[in-house]
Amino acid sequence: MFMAIQTCLPPPVTKTESSDMNIIPKPQSIEILEGEFKFAKSTSFYISGSSQNVTFFSDFLKGLIPGLQVGEQGSADIELEIMQETDIQKEGYRLAVTKKGIHISAGDEPGLFYGIQSLRQLLPPSSENGVESLKGYRIRSAIIEDFPRFGWRGMHLDVSRHFFPLEFVKRYIDMIALHKMNVFHWHLSDDNGWRLEIKKYPLLTEICAWRVDREHEDWRKWSPIKAGETSSYGGFYTQDEVREVVAYAAQRQISVIPEIEMPGHSSEIFAAYPELSCQGELLPVRPGSYWPNEDILCAGNDSVFTFLEDIIDEVVELFPARYIHIGGDEARKTHWKTCPKCQNRITVEGLANEDELKSWFVQKMEKYILSKGKNLIGWDEILEGGLAPEATVMSWRGEAGGIAAAKAGHDVIMTPTSHVYFDYYQGDPETEPQAIGGHSTLENVYSYEPIPAELEEQEHRFVLGSQANLWTEFIKTPEHAEYMVLPRMTALSEVLWSAKDQRDWQDFRSRLGWLLPRFEELGWNYRPLDAEQLNK
C-alpha cells in the first residue's frame, strides 16, 4: 500500500517534548530509569579532566543549548568529565540523565565527544540552529553505556573527478562527526585533476589541477581539448587549507587520510611532468572518463621515486594521521611491458613479471613511508605480485582481497562495491539523480557485515572496520554528494558502531525518522525514505 513519506515520520518535536532515546548509531546499552531531566530557563555546564579541546567542546554545547553558562563542579546541570582511571572502553562514554542533571564521562577525548553527540541527538532538532530556548524540554532519565564495535569508521570523498570547495569538505566532516565516525579518506589525486598544493612541484596545481570544461557533456563521451582552449575547470587545496581541514577534523575526533594515487590513476601528472610516464608524452588533464588506465608512472625511472618521495615528504608534514593511502588500483601495465626502463628494472631486480614490478614499486614506497613513521594503505590490487610487508589493504572488489590479506596477517578495511559504494544508485535509476551504475539501497547498506564469514575467529581482529566510498564522476555538486551519502552513511554508522546482535532494520528506520529533521535543520540534503522502505 502506498503511504506518503511524511506520515511515517514522527511528529515534529516541540520544546516541551522529549525525543526519547532515538540515538543513531544505537548505543550498546540503555537503561531507562524513573523520572526525567527538565531544562530550566538557564542551564549550566562544567567540564573536568584534561582535554586539549575544552574550548571546542564548550562552544559545541553552547551552539546547541541557548544561554548555556559555565557552572560549578558538582552543581552544574551538565557535567562532562574525562577520567584518568576508568573501566569505560576506548572511545566509549557513559551518559547518565537524572532528575538532577546530565553527566557524561569518558576515558578519552573521542569518548567525551561521542557522549556529546548522543546528548545532541536527545535534544530537539531545532537546537541545531540555536534559535529556541530549551526551557521545559525533557529528557528521560537513563544510563547509556556505549563504545564502538570497530575502530575504523570511514567516509571517502573523491575530489579529483569533481572538485569540492573547502566549505563542503568541512560540512562532510560535520556529517562524519554526527555519526560518530572517525576517518575522512581524502582522495586527492586522480586522472581528472591533482588537488593538493605541493611546494616543490608548483606545476601540479598550476597545470595538473585544471582541465577543459566539459561539464555539459556525458562523462563517458567527452570531447578532447581543442587548440587554443584554456583549462578552466578544477581547483586545489592550499597547504594552509589542508591544515585547516585537518585541525577541523581533529577537533571532531576524525583522522584525515590523504590518498595520492600511484602508479595508475596518475595521468594528470603528465600534463606537466610527461617525463615521468613510460611514453614521455604530454597529456592534457582528462575532462571525463579515462579508461583503460594505461598512462601510468614509469617504474623504471628513478626520477619517479624522487618525485613521489618529495611529495610524501610534504604530505607527512601536513597530515598527522598514521596512514598514507597510495591508491595502487586499476593500473594497466601495458606500457611497462614495452618500456625499456621498466624491463631493465625487472631484470636488475630479478623480478618475474610486471605484477612483481608493481609489487616492487609499492614495497619501495612502503619502505619510504615507514621511514617517515607512517603506514601504507592500498586498494586490494596491491596484493598482486606480493603484498608489501606491513601494508593495510582496502578491499573494494568484493571481499576476496580483504579475506586473503587478513589470512596473511595484514590489517584490512572492508569497502566492497556491493554495499558501500555510495556512487551507486539507491533507488530506481529512472527517478534517481544520475549515479555511476550499480544499486545499493539503504537497507542493503544496513545489512552489511564487515567481518567476512570466511575468516576464523582469531583473524577477525585484522578487520579494522569499513568505510563508504564516494567517487564523483557523476556527482558535480555538494547537494548531489549529500544526497548520495545521506542517509546511507547513517546506516553504515550503525553497522560500524553498534553490537551486531542489536542491529534491527525496523528499529533503525524508526529512529531514523527522528534524525532526518535534524538533517533538515542543518541544511543537509538527504534522500527521503521511499514508500517501499517505510512499509516494509
Which residues contact ligand ACM by CB under 6 A?
329-330, 379, 396
Q: Rank residues 13 and 492 by Cβ distance to ligand ACM and give the closer one.
A: 492
Q: Which does 124 bind (CB under 5 to 8 A by kind): Zn ion, ligand ACM, none?
A: none
Between 359 and 415, whose beta carbon lies closer to ligand ACM?
415
Instruction: Report the chain's C-alpha Rg in angstroms.
Output: 25
298 lies in the site for Zn ion, by CB under 5 A: yes
Query: Which residue, among 201, 310, 320, 327, has the nearest Cα to 265 in the 3D structure?
Result: 327
User: What's the CA dihedral at 200, 202, 205, 207 to 10 degrees?
Assistant: -130
| Burial tier of 442 (Cβ tally within 10 Å: 0-12, 13-18, 19+) | buried
The residues near 383 (Cβ < 8 Å, ≥ 6 apart) are 393, 401, 404, 405
Residue 332 contacts Zn ion per CB under 5 A: no
* DSSP type of residue 318: H
Query: In this complex, which beta carbon is closest to Zn ion, that of residue 65 or of residue 339?
Result: 339
Residues 420-459 that bind Zn ion (CB under 5 A): none
Active site residue 265: yes
From the list ligand ACM, Zn ion, none, which binds 330 (C-beta under 5 to 8 Å, kind-based)? ligand ACM
DSSP one-letter code for 130: T
CA 126 remoteness from chain centre: 26
State the binding partner of 364 from ligand ACM, Zn ion, none, CB within 5 to 8 A by kind: none
Closest among 117, 141, 157, 130 to 63, alpha carbons compared? 130
Buried b (16+ CB within 10 A) or exposed e, 508-536: bbebbbbbbbbbeebebbbbebbeebbee
Q: Which does 339 bind (CB under 5 to 8 A by kind): ligand ACM, Zn ion, none?
A: Zn ion
Are 249 and 255 in contact, with CB atoms under 8 Å apart?
A: yes
Q: Which one, 53 or 472, has the nearer CB to ligand ACM?
A: 472
Known catalytic membership, residue 191? no
**From the list ligand ACM, Zn ion, none, partner contacted by residue 384 (C-beta under 5 to 8 A by kind):** none
Quick check: 296 binds Zn ion (CB under 5 A)?
no
> 330 an active-site residue?
yes
Q: Which of 330, 355, 443, 504 is catalytic?
A: 330
Nearest one of 67, 183, 203, 76 to 415, comparing CA atoms:
183
Question: 109, 190, 366, 411: which is the annotated catalytic residue?
Answer: 190
Instruction: Tell me, by CB under 5 A, how many residues bind Zn ion.
Output: 6
CB of 293 to ligand ACM, least distance (A): 9
Annotated catalytic residue: which of 265, 325, 410, 419?
265
CB of 379 to ligand ACM, least distance (A): 4
Helix (H) / strand (E) containing 366: helix 354-371
Q: Which is nearer to ligand ACM, 284 or 328 (CB)?
A: 328
> Do 101 and 69 contact (CB within 8 A), yes or no?
no
What residues line the site for Zn ion (CB under 5 A)? 278, 298, 300, 339, 341-342
Residues annotated as part of the active site: 190, 265, 330
